[in-house]
Amino acid sequence: MIVGRAQGPYFTPEEYLEFERLSPIKHEYRRGLVTAMAGVSTAHILITRNLSIILFNHLRGDQCTSYGSDAKVQIPGRKGYYYPDQLVPCDAVDLSSNDGCVRHPMLIFEGLSDSTEAFDRKGKFDDYKTIPELEEYVLVDQHRMLVECFRRKGDFWVSETYETGESVTFVSIRCTCEIELVYEGAERFLMIES
């Protein structure tokens, strides 16, 4: 139990941040509830590594940068804190902050797993949509070559899906690459569809 913490199952944002600072494992926070991060598969690790390389190389020398899964995103109003698999901030305040928290990401990537897919598609995405600077939300399947990009178009979000043999475009940062580069090394873990 956290010293000085109010009784009950809910955490204030301040309690969560203090708890997270002292914890040896990562937790996400949503409207007072704290959830430990699940372990990841080898395919997830490889895909995330590949995205990191693609983003780093593309953004080298740019005003934007990419962060991996150790950076957390703060939802406006401090209603949530999530650890996406990759994200791209371009905001000067985010880029000069050393607290490991991004408040104005332009682009967020989540790797889908069986246990997180429903929440990544609905609850988490609904929270991410409240970030005014977010232009693109990318879901990467770890069971088959499938990347789904959601892009903000005014008040709406438009989806575009990429599959085997196609080039993926992350419009928000003007980056295009073959989908096979995203999945390089993880092919042996993908389901074969007949």
| Of the candidate ranges 9-13, 84-88, 99-103, 171-175, the one whose mean pLDDT is the lowest | 9-13
DSSP letter string over 40-72? --HHHHHHHHHHHHHHHHHHTTSS---B-TTSE
pLDDT in tens, 47-72: 999 999 999 999 999 999 999 999 99
The CATH number fitting domain 40-189, selected from 3.90.1570.10, 1.10.510.10, 3.20.20.370, 3.30.70.1560: 3.90.1570.10
Q: Collect all residues with Cβ–Cβ distance below 8 Å to 75 and sequence separation of at least 6.
A: 81, 82, 127, 128, 130, 131
pLDDT (0 to 100) of residue 192 = 62
Q: Is there a contact between 184 and 173 (Cβ–Cβ < 8 Å)?
A: no
pLDDT confidence tier of residue 180, bands split at 50, 70 and 90: very high
In the predicted model, what is the mean pLDDT of residues 73-97? 96
pLDDT (0 to 100) of residue 38 = 84
pLDDT confidence tier of residue 3, bands split at 50, 70 and 90: very low
Which residues in the chain are classed under CATH 3.90.1570.10?
Answer: 40-189
Amino acid making up residue 81: Y
Q: Is there a contact between 72 and 82 (Cβ–Cβ < 8 Å)?
A: yes
Mean pLDDT of the chain: 93
Which is more confident, 38 or 96?
96
Q: Which of 82, 73, 88 has the alpha carbon at shortest distance from 135?
A: 88
Q: For the chain, what percent of residues have pLDDT higher than 90?
A: 90
pTM: 0.93
pLDDT (0 to 100) of residue 193 = 54
The span from the first CA to the last CA of the chain, in angstroms, equals 51
pLDDT confidence tier of residue 103, bands split at 50, 70 and 90: very high
pLDDT at 6 over 50: no
State how far the Cα of 15 lies from the Cα of 29, in Å rounded to an integer. 10
Token pair recorded at residue 31: 């409207």
State how far the Cα of 163 lies from the Cα of 167, in Å rounded to an integer. 8
| Of the candidate ranges 7-16, 37-46, 129-138, 152-161, the one whose mean pLDDT is the lowest | 7-16
